[in-house]
Structure 1
């Protein structure tokens, strides 16, 4: 289930935080609760991606994007993610999330998010995000015009450019895999 209560808490806590430049950094603080756990008693990897939503929501509000999305009736969509999990997040652990836009191109915005436990980075994710209108991508230049800003993208870090290039070689749609009759039974839950 989506953490609507946490989202409401984040909106309330950050309602008066100052606006940020487009490449500004939004920091939020969280805790791993029992409902976040998987069978190994650590924060579930899917829950981590959901918690990252909260950081992007806060970042989008602080750079003025949420206001523009409502005005223009645009949506925000994720178009890809690369994640590194490096440290377990165990029950009741407090952590801080850092969210920032590292740049954009003619189609997408690239968002770097990190979860830190003390001085250790537990998780880092690079998201490819898009503003959409009726199922079509909105050019970032149009988004900036609606924000009342004219900003060129800072140079994308080399590792982000390499990810973009590598991901472009991935076939889409993927080739269908026929499970055949490998002795597996099909079960519906």
Structure 2
């Protein structure tokens, strides 16, 4: 048990150290960032692009077979990836400035290929859709080298006390391209897979309400 808590403390220290290094790199990049393109949304950051977060599969992260990344570790890494995404894009600050907040509403992950111990992986995060009360994000775990998608996750963040539709419209309408031309409002289309996922969650909610 003593070794377990020691490894847990080491894991957190490693995460905090890595977060500090990444923060310094982002601050340096912001100072040297060139003019924005039309794809760069929200306070000089790329909300609809795929900012990435790197990680490693350590000996403290593997499953009981001692070979690859534990399934629960994927979801833990996504918490860090989302925090990094909202901080990097400053979207969280925008929501908070309106008196709002956000909570995780749902997550579904599909595993395609295991990540071996002592190998690096990359997580990309992207907003794929939003409505009046929710933001939908897609996360991908990519293997080094060939960028094979080892796992893909869809999640929903519930936005509290803020009309996210209106907020995103104001953000996007206010953005300028390098030539000074307004970029305009462009909302992503809801993909069929996301539509079915939302329907599945709604059916589940209805079943739970009926069973009470």
Normalising by the smaller structure, the TM-score range is 0.7 to 0.9
Mapping 1:52-67, distance limit 5 Å: 52-67=78-93
Q: Does 1:23 align with 2:48?
A: yes
Q: Does 1:132 align with 2:155?
A: no
- CA distances 1:44-103 after superposition (whole Å, capped 9, x unpaired): 212111111222222212322132244345333111011001111122111111111111
Query: 2:172 aligns to what SS in structure 1?
Result: coil
Does the 8 Å CA contact 2:57/2:69 hold for their aligned counterparts?
Answer: yes
Does the 8 Å CA contact 1:106/1:139 hold for their aligned counterparts?
Answer: yes
Query: 1:162 aligns to what SS in structure 2?
Result: helix
Distance in 2 (alpha carbons) for counterparts of 1:159 and 1:57:
25
TM norm structure 2: 0.69
Does the 8 Å CA contact 1:26/1:58 hold for their aligned counterparts?
Answer: no
Distance in 2 (alpha carbons) for counterparts of 1:51 and 1:159:
23
* Residue in structure 2 matched with residue 45 of structure 1 by the alignment: 71
* Residue in structure 1 matched with residue 168 of structure 2 by the alignment: 144
Q: Which has the higher helix share?
A: 2
TM norm structure 1: 0.76
- CA distances 1:124-174 after superposition (whole Å, capped 9, x unpaired): 0001112225xxxx32134336x7434452111111111111221112358
Structure 1 residues 148-157 or 121-130, which shifts more?
148-157
Does the 8 Å CA contact 1:10/1:54 hold for their aligned counterparts?
Answer: no
Structure 2 unaligned residues grouped into runs of 5+: 1-7, 34-43, 174-184
* Alignment RMSD: 2.6
Query: 1:123 aligns to what SS in structure 2?
Result: strand
Does the 8 Å CA contact 1:36/1:44 hold for their aligned counterparts?
Answer: yes
Does the 8 Å CA contact 1:108/1:140 hold for their aligned counterparts?
Answer: yes
* Residue in structure 1 matched with residue 196 of structure 2 by the alignment: 162
Does the 8 Å CA contact 1:84/1:123 hold for their aligned counterparts?
Answer: yes
Structure 1 unaligned residues grouped into runs of 5+: 177-189
Query: 2:60 aligns to what SS in structure 1?
Result: helix
Does the 8 Å CA contact 1:79/1:127 hold for their aligned counterparts?
Answer: yes
Mapping 1:69-148, distance limit 5 Å: 69-118=95-144, 119=146, 120-133=148-161, 138-144=162-168, 148=171
* Residue in structure 2 matched with residue 11 of structure 1 by the alignment: 23
Does the 8 Å CA contact 1:80/1:127 hold for their aligned counterparts?
Answer: yes
